[in-house]
Amino acid sequence: MERKIPEHIGIIMDGNGRWAKQRNLPRSEGHKAGAKVFRKICEYAGEIGVKYITFYAFSTENWRRPPEEVEALMNLFRDYLDEAEERQEENKQKGMRIHFIGHREGVPMDLISRFETTERDSRDADKIDVNIAINYGGRLEIVDAVKKIAHKVKDGEINPEDITEQDISDNIYTAGQADPDLIIRPSGEYRLSNFLIWQSAYSEFWFSDILWPDFAEADLDKAIDDFNNRNRRFGGV
């Protein structure tokens, strides 16, 4: 049987803090190690034919973490944006189109400006769409979509009784992209944690005890191999 590559993979990057604790390191060092794995897995996914990949980088709930940890994460995002700018031509050759999904309110203004620049600079790439979810929450995403639709109802563009599931899909952050076939969560946790709630209605899930900084290309291959052994019926027989 031919190995099928999922069109869209979602990844909850979890376990950075525990990885650092096991090594008696600050949590920030775990996040740095996790960032390196993000780059590696992102590039490998493009090489093997994944069309869309969404990384859960910072949730709306993560603001509750200690201020020094939040600041360290914001600085990591700045470092990523610096690297993206330096590797702009290389990323273009690899066909990586970058999207930052999530709520912009509360995110430092310098980051928002650079999100927009990175998105603009990579918009012509066409091999793999990379979604980086920052200040993201699945419920908030649905609320934002409903607000957009409500404005259309208010403006007379659509009747309430004509609203469909497709209207919701057309107004979420990943509009125009395929829903995730496979969602991966390392670190031994077995929950979505408010990630891609609308999009994951028929996703397959793959859980592992591997902490994110230890996640390798071979682990992604294992998840895809397990995905190929699933019988996806989508409610049918």
Give catalytic status of residue 62 as yes or no: yes
Which residue among the candidates 14, 129, 179, 181 is catalytic per the annotation? 14
DSSP character string of 164-226: -HHHHHTTSTTTTSPPPSEEEE-TT--S-SSSSTTTTTT-EEEE-S--GGG--HHHHHHHHHH
Strands of the sheet containing 204-207, edge to edge, are 96-101, 128-136, 52-59, 8-12, 182-185, 204-207
Which residue among the candidates 24, 62, 124, 214 is catalytic per the annotation? 62
Give catalytic status of residue 194 as yes or no: no
Would you call 96 helix, strand, or coil by DSSP?
strand
162 Cβ partners below 8 Å, 6+ apart?
A: none
Total number of residues shown for the chain: 237
Distance CA 109, CA 105 (A): 9
CB-count burial class (<10 Å; 0-12, 13-18, 19+) for 58 = buried
User: What count of other Cβ atoms lies within 10 Å of the Cβ of residue 193?
Assistant: 14
Catalytic residue numbers read 14, 62
